Amino acid sequence: MKKKSPVRLRPPRAGDMGRVVQLHGELYATEFGYDTTFEALVAEIAAGFVREFKPKFERCWIAQMNGEVVGSVFLVRKSPKVSKLRLLIIHPKARGQGLGRRLTRACIAFARRAGYKKMVLWTQSHLAAARGIYQTEGFRKVSSKKHRSFGKRLVAEVWELRLY
């Protein structure tokens, strides 16, 4: 079996937000049957991040392998004491290397340095790999709610991690 190339984490640059949106749209449609309203939500989140970016309190990490964007994660300011992890995604070709955990840990470390007391995130109950990362890193599920979004019946979950 061929060894996977190393993945580098870097700040975003021109064109990356479009790729993050595309990656979410493609993978969630293919893997989970989500419709294009999910891609629209991701585009809104990415646009809001760029428009309202607060460098002292927010970050985006782009995962790059062989010059290609293969993943991302965002940490945004929800309030002065609470940060929010958003848009964690890993392309299938980059999975199995601990990249999701690396990206999540980058968010946690930055949030602590930025002085946040808590990190929250919103996910869906069927996203087992992501939920496994969150649980391993110390997040706890604090709520769940059935809803219909992205052309699917889903169960949304809110997870949180105390940072102190």
Residues comprising the chain, all counted: 164
CATH class of 8-117: alpha beta
Q: What is the mean pLDDT of residues 100-127?
A: 98
Q: What is the mean pLDDT of residues 25-29?
A: 98
Residue 1 has pLDDT above 90, yes or no: no
- Where in the chain are the domains? 8-117
Q: What is the mean pLDDT of residues 137-142?
A: 98
Q: What is the mean pLDDT of residues 33-61?
A: 98
C-beta of residue 133 within 8 angstroms of C-beta of residue 75: no
Distance separating alpha carbons of residues 51 and 41, to the nearest angstrom: 15
